[in-house]
Amino acid sequence: MTAAGMHQPARQPLRPPLTARINVGADTWSTIWSLVHRVLVVNLGLAVANLPLLVALAVVAQPWRYPVFFGLLSVSVGPAVAAAFGYLRQAEDDDRAPVREYFRAYRRNFAAATRRWAAATALIAVLVTDIVWLHDAGWPAVLVPLLVVLTVLVAATTVLLLALVELAPGLGLRATVRAAAWSAVRRAPLSLLSLVVLLAALLSVNQAPLLALSTLPGCALLVVWVNSRAALAPALPFEPPRG
């Protein structure tokens, strides 16, 4: 053996490609891409349905100074969220449900979702106004904790009311409110988790609008939809037909 051959470094074994080293089955990749597809469709639908509100938030630096104006613009949020729930329900049967399914759900749920969201928004506005006024009003301030609890209860009930637009469209108003309020209290951990997820998404959008709007709303509503169905399951023992 020559000297050159003796000093030749040992040949390193060939490494398998990255895709071969990642031990992820085809079903797992399909599930991941299906979730990504749902999130992107919901984000697109929310952006289109709430475009006036988004433009106003981008233009106005301090939107809380104009509560009436932004309160009216926020009416579009209710049917947009109900449409997202409708789309996510449809996507349970079709992993890659097309975008048109979102707007079909929007048209189907618009009237009921708008009424429920508008009533809830007005009630929450009254409660928040009372909290602000009573906070430094002496002894009436003892009512503030009760009003805060009522505000949280109304917010949690509103989320379930929007889910019931899709899950039980033929249920009467009184029965719907009773089922939503009972479920919000009976399944309080799920309801509070939904509110925390929504609040975290809103705060993230406020900090990084473009990045957060492109990812978080769909993810948050996916979690809220799952929580809402679980919370409402005892009140709705049957599976309503899809629209």
pLDDT tens-digit readout, 23-50: 555 567 677 777 888 889 999 999 999 9
The dihedral of CA 243, 88, 158, 164: what is its sign?
positive
Place of tokens 């299906």: 34
**Cβ(180)–Cβ(231) below 8 Å:** no
Distant-in-sequence, close-in-space partners of 95: CB < 8 Å, separation ≥ 6: 30, 34, 37
Residue with tokens 């492109």: 214
Cα separation values, 82 from 105, 180, 232, Å? 8, 14, 15
Tell me which DSSP letter residue 75 carries.
G
Q: Which two tokens stand for residue 35?
A: 């979730």
Percent of the chain with pLDDT strictly greater than 70: 83
Q: 153-157, 170-174, 199-203, 206-210 — which one is most confidently predicted on average?
A: 153-157
pLDDT score at 143? 86
Query: How far, in Å, CA of 177 to CA of 1, rounded?
Result: 90
The tens digit of pLDDT for each residue in 175-200 reads 999 999 999 999 999 999 999 999 99
pLDDT higher than threshold 50 for residue 19: no
Rounded to the nearest angstrom, the gap between the alpha carbon of residue 87 and the centroid of all alpha carbons in its chain is: 12
Listed in order, strand segments (DSSP E) in 37-185 are: none
For residue range 62-121, list pLDDT tens digits in order: 888 888 898 899 999 999 999 999 999 888 777 677 889 999 999 999 999 999 999 999
For residue 65, the model assigns a pLDDT of 85
pLDDT for the residue 18? 46
Confidence of residue 164 (pLDDT cuts 50, 70, 90): very high
How far apart are the C-alpha atoms of 44 and 29, rounded to whole Å? 22
Question: Does 14 have pLDDT greater than 60?
Answer: no
Contact 95, 140 (CB under 8 A): no
Tokens 């249920």 appear where? 171
For the chain, the average pLDDT equals 83
